[in-house]
Structure 1
Amino acid sequence: MSSSLSRPSYSSSSRTSSPFFPNHSSLINGGTRRSLSFLSASPQELCLRSKRKSVQSSVVLQDGAVVVTNSSPIEKLKDGLLSVPSQEVVAELGGGEHESTVSITVVGASGDLAKKKIFPALFALYYEGCLPEHFTIYGYARSKMTDGELRHMVSKTLTCRIDKRANCGEKMEEFLKRCFYHTGQYDSQEHFVALNKKLKEHEGGRLSNRLFYLSIPPNIFVDAVKCASSSASSLSGWTRVIVEKPFGRDSKTSAALTNSLKNYLEEDQIFRIDHYLGKELVENLSVLRFSNLIFEPLWSRQYIQNVQFIFSEDFGTEGRGGYFDHYGIIRDIMQNHLLQILALFAMETPVSLDAEDIRNEKVKVLRSMRPIQLEDVVIGQYKGTTTKGGVTYPSYTDDKTVPGDSLTPTFAAAALFIDNARWDGVPFLMKAGKALHTRSAEIRVQFRHVPGNLYNRNSGGSNLDRTTNELVIRVQPDEGIYLKINNKVPGLGMRLDQSHLNLLYSARYSKEIPDAYERLLLDAIEGERRLFIRSDELDAAWALFTPLLKEIEEKKMIPELYPYGSRGPVGAHYLAAKHNVQWGDL
């Protein structure tokens, strides 16, 4: 694969005091934009970069919208719209193509997320030829470690799962040779200066682009960003920072974090990652709706009776309850993963597939949502149980890292409403929980009953529920899409049955589905922001959930207990029945 070429771009929204000023919105290879598509393209085709010589610049308006333009930086300079760069940069822009390099620094490299997700995802991208020819990966953490020890740690988590090619061992060795380690404190300017020196040595005078992945607790985000911005940012290419959730605990703490980050970064340098947005079936949601004529006309209150977003895990906190107890299931799953999927599902048709057009529509949905009422919410907490086989499962409060009197919910169900013309009156039900009977994540769209259905009277007393069509998008596991339809059972009589029109991905496509982190890391390298969360999205999401969380905590609402391995609290079924809904996963 040929090397990626990149040029810096300049934005009128840049503050001259920002250490990232020269590079904040340029895209690798001049701004390649990847569109939503079916899985017809090969991995190599998906990873190709165009070599257009235009540069993408962005102008951030006061309302958070972004106007994206593609034109020569020199033309922009002539128009007097953007700040004047140094003579050296102008000379570089006018002097033809130059080799570039990407330096990826995993901050918090010794943690579980880095070991289990980030490094394996980077290796998968390398294995598929999606990384540029010149790249370096640095692990940065407080733990004392050598390059060799990092490589040994990382090698244990790497697998050549994609197509199981014969040259797996060679690729792994080549990848590990690109991995290095630097020990340092997250708030030390001196240590980041030393990191910067090492990065420059590996960049070898090429145009440098730098990506920092913050796989660290949120209370040290700002310290790390401050040090990276002043001591380890790129002076010639772009610099971007990926930030992991949680993005605060409520509106106030989230806004404080955003404002602190923006002291050192521009908004379009911040990539707030929600890995559920990188899952294949979530990304296919828009394709399913907007490229199939049979669905788009039905996507409204006229035909849809309710929509369900269901997330369940079949395990508890398992000794890691200290972190979870500080946040709970609503903050951990509902306010981000499920709400983001809801916004994608319910949004109006965007002007284009450009990141800002899509995110603008998502924000409109979030701002149209009715405040969540406490009576439309059920919370629960799992309790210990003993199975018929004699296996004993612990209660949530049996976890030694959790206070014995904790009221933190491990389960929550809620009914939400969108007050706009398309969705007026349609309940959007969310359900998320730990220690349930199964592990799954799915979207269920239940359509209205057929008006005046003949077969309710003439099919021998068929169950009314069987007359309801249901579209199910199974995000995980066993990714698939199926549609429940009613049909006649073969025979002389008139008996109805419900059948599935089923698209099971493992049966339809021979290739293994990429991990969400692979897609999101590639998007961050390319500068594609469509699957990342903008600050006004985050504000709108917290504005919806903060009053509810405050009310639950102030009233010390006691969660309903449910047995480990069950389907959750009984109250969730009463909540659904209140809105004339039956959970589809029963």
Structure 2
Amino acid sequence: MSATLQREESVAELVGEEPPLPSDRDHWHCCVAGELCLTVVVLGASGDLASKKTYPALQFLFQKGFLTRNTKVIGYARSPLTDEQLHAKLRPRLEGGAAEADAFLKRCTYVAGAYDGPEGWKALAAALAAREARHPACPCGRLYYLALPPSVYPQVCSGLKTYCDALPSTEGSWIRVIVEKPFGKDLGSSEELAATLGALYPENQLYRIDHYLGKEMAQNLFVMRFANMFLAPLWNRECVSNVQITFKEDFGTQGRGGYFDTFGIIRDVVQNHLVQLLAFVAMEKPLSIHPDDIRDEKVKVLRCIKPVQEHNVVLGQYSAAGGQPGYTEDPTVPDDSRTPTFAAVTLYIDNDRWAGVPFVLKAGKALNDKKAEIRVQMRATPHYIFPGQPEATRNELVVRLQPDEAIYLKMIVKKPGLEIDTAISELDLDYSKRYPGVAIPDAYPRLILDAIRGDQQHFVRRDELRAAWAIFTPLLHAVDAGRLPLHPYPYGSRGPEEADELLARAGFVKNLDYRWHDAPAGAGKSGAASFGGGAGGNPKL
């Protein structure tokens, strides 16, 4: 029983009233029935997304024992494949040797059918009914994974609803639908898609997947924020100067620009992935870890963000450099394309905690590095009494999502020696060193497992989606109309120089003499001192 409910019952007893009925959220927990007859239906099973992400994620769960004993995977697509042909297509993508791959593939079958006619859906329904009829006493779970373009979601969900929703009446049976981004191209198209799907499946059956919510460090950020007392007094506009959320890729479209050109970097990365990370950074503490308590707080903070102002945006498109082709030299991209491959956007959250603090979301392709990170920079220390400039020695909390998952807090410390001289060091949680031998799973297995368990906390709710699109839709319409300048930047560079000016206006100060994990010879990893395990040191301290 929650503490809140206990207090309410105590008050009710004192005043002679009936205690309140418990909320569904008070007793919520997610679990999987041990004898669940689970069928995962992969729609679009012959496509790249299914073979690269969906099936390998299911194999991971199978190998680690997270799927029930009675689990089957049915692929459905238009391609006329046999089970054996599907297996041959999937085998190169699976982990382990032939025996491990075959053990998983024995659970994978295939049904061929169109998305716009009844014959294929009837064949799929027959396969589902025949399978579940062999287990009449077990609850049945059907997880429909749409590894398909959003343009066919309405058609596919209509076929599923019409022909494949005859679920056995056994208690505990369920149907859930996972849909992939992008969820529309702007607020209007998103709402239209949401209304269409909502008329077929209620919100508690729809799982809108954003794989950044399944990343280990995104989930650790949530725990770190709300489980550590020392962060709470610092996490506000009084102490935080600015926040950067960055996504960088060191490669271009590589001949696959046809899809990207219809969306661009804002729709592809910023509006969904980076905004979800912003919500985790800025949200208030939820009442509980119930999925809707968490998503309620995310919606609240997103609704406090005003639409993006054009003067707070820098757009770019990469050009040829270093032997690498420019964006418009990709044969799948129009020669006159003005689709941005880089965007830096400054947002402001209009609430008591964050008023006036710039949140800079930055994403780009063909840059000088590959990483995703969150950087919370604190204000300069007032009345700085040590040598050096306080503006150049700011504390920062950095959460590195990929690669080399880590959390580190940049601090000012004394250099070893007889003089009082300062240096930047860090308190460091490097996952590869703190958890050696622990393989951090990809986001897809985690999110698929959450959907099987009925846990929606890492999936995007409709009102959350609406709030995110409302922030960016005016900007996207301006970009589509060509009203914003598009700055060229060389392949392999840091991006347009104008983005540095945007960061400077946001108050970001770069520590030029510091880089994480750069340490001089003979020093500890921090570059300041080896405080544990060195000569005369106690490795246990």
Same topology, TM > 0.5: yes
Match of 1:474 among 397, 400, 419: 400
Q: TM-score by structure 2 length?
A: 0.86
Whole-angstrom distance in 2 between the partners of 1:530 and 1:169: 36
The alignment partner of 2:262 has SS state of helix
Could you say which residue in structure 2 is the equivalent of 1:270?
206
Could you say which residue in structure 1 is the equivalent of 2:416?
490
Could you say if the C-alpha distance between residues 584 and 372 of structure 1 is closer, same or farther in structure 2, counting changes exceeding 3 Å? farther
Residue 418 in 1 paired to residue 349 in 2? yes
Match of 1:393 among 311, 324, 327: 324
The alignment partner of 1:502 has SS state of strand
Whole-angstrom distance in 1 between the partners of 2:274 and 2:320: 27
Residue 217 in 1 paired to residue 146 in 2? no
Deviates more, 1:283-292 or 1:150-159: 150-159
Match of 2:163 among 199, 220, 231: 231
Preserved CA contact (<8 Å) 2:242 2:506 = no
Cα deviation, residue 584, structure 1: 7.4
Preserved CA contact (<8 Å) 2:392 2:509 = no
Whole-angstrom distance in 2 between the partners of 1:339 and 1:195: 37
Could you say which residue in structure 2 is the equivalent of 1:41?
none
Whole-angstrom distance in 2 between the partners of 1:317 and 1:583: 30
Whole-angstrom distance in 1 between the partners of 2:261 and 2:425: 42
Preserved CA contact (<8 Å) 2:392 2:510 = no
Preserved CA contact (<8 Å) 1:573 1:582 = no
Match of 1:499 among 425, 447, 468: 425
Preserved CA contact (<8 Å) 1:466 1:498 = no
Whole-angstrom distance in 1 between the partners of 2:110 and 2:380: 60
Cα deviation, residue 100, structure 1: 2.8
Cα deviation, residue 154, structure 1: 1.5
Match of 1:172 among 82, 101, 123: 101
Whole-angstrom distance in 1 between the partners of 2:281 and 2:223: 11
* 1:227 maps to amino acid: G
Percent of counterpart pairs with the same letter? 49
Deviates more, 1:291-300 or 1:169-178: 169-178
* CA distances 1:391-447 after superposition (whole Å, capped 9, x unpaired): x10010001111111110000001100010000111101100000001100000101
Alignment of 1:289-304 (within 5 A): 289-304=225-240
Could you say which residue in structure 1 is the equivalent of 2:487?
560
Instruction: Provide structure 1 residue ranges, at least 5 long, that are not aligned to the other structure.
Output: 1-58, 60-65, 72-96, 161-167, 387-391
Could you say which residue in structure 1 is the equivalent of 2:135?
205
The alignment partner of 1:371 has SS state of coil
Preserved CA contact (<8 Å) 2:338 2:482 = no
Match of 1:139 among 72, 75, 88: 75
* 2:462 maps to amino acid: S
Preserved CA contact (<8 Å) 1:210 1:234 = no
Cα deviation, residue 172, structure 1: 2.9
Preserved CA contact (<8 Å) 1:328 1:409 = yes
Preserved CA contact (<8 Å) 1:209 1:234 = no
Could you say which residue in structure 2 is the equivalent of 1:525?
452
How many residues end up aligned between the 2 structures? Answer: 480
Cα deviation, residue 98, structure 1: 9.5
Cα deviation, residue 379, structure 1: 0.2
Cα deviation, residue 99, structure 1: 4.0
Whole-angstrom distance in 1 between the partners of 2:187 and 2:490: 33
* 1:493 maps to amino acid: E
Whole-angstrom distance in 2 between the partners of 1:446 and 1:231: 54
Match of 1:103 among 36, 39, 49: 39
Cα deviation, residue 580, structure 1: 2.1
Could you say if the C-alpha distance between residues 415 and 326 of structure 1 is closer, same or farther in structure 2, counting changes exceeding 3 Å? same
* CA distances 1:143-197 after superposition (whole Å, capped 9, x unpaired): 111101111222211114xxxxxxx654432211000011111222221111111
Across the aligned residues of Structure 1 and Structure 2, the Cα RMSD in angstroms comes to 1.8
Could you say which residue in structure 1 is the equivalent of 2:363?
432
Instruction: Provide structure 2 residue ranges, at least 5 long, that are not aligned to the other structure.
Output: 1-21, 516-541
Residue 545 in 1 paired to residue 472 in 2? yes
* 1:581 maps to amino acid: F
* CA distances 1:57-115 after superposition (whole Å, capped 9, x unpaired): xx9xxxxxx954759xxxxxxxxxxxxxxxxxxxxxxxxx9943011011111111111
* 1:219 maps to amino acid: S
Could you say which residue in structure 1 is the equivalent of 2:276?
340
The alignment partner of 1:409 has SS state of coil
Whole-angstrom distance in 1 between the partners of 2:181 and 2:27: 32
Whole-angstrom distance in 2 between the partners of 1:580 and 1:100: 54
Could you say if the C-alpha distance between residues 245 and 329 of structure 1 is closer, same or farther in structure 2, counting changes exceeding 3 Å? same
Q: TM-score by structure 1 length?
A: 0.79
Alignment of 1:314-463 (within 5 A): 314-386=250-322, 392-455=323-386, 459=387, 462-463=388-389
Whole-angstrom distance in 1 between the partners of 2:34 and 2:410: 55
Whole-angstrom distance in 1 between the partners of 2:285 and 2:177: 29
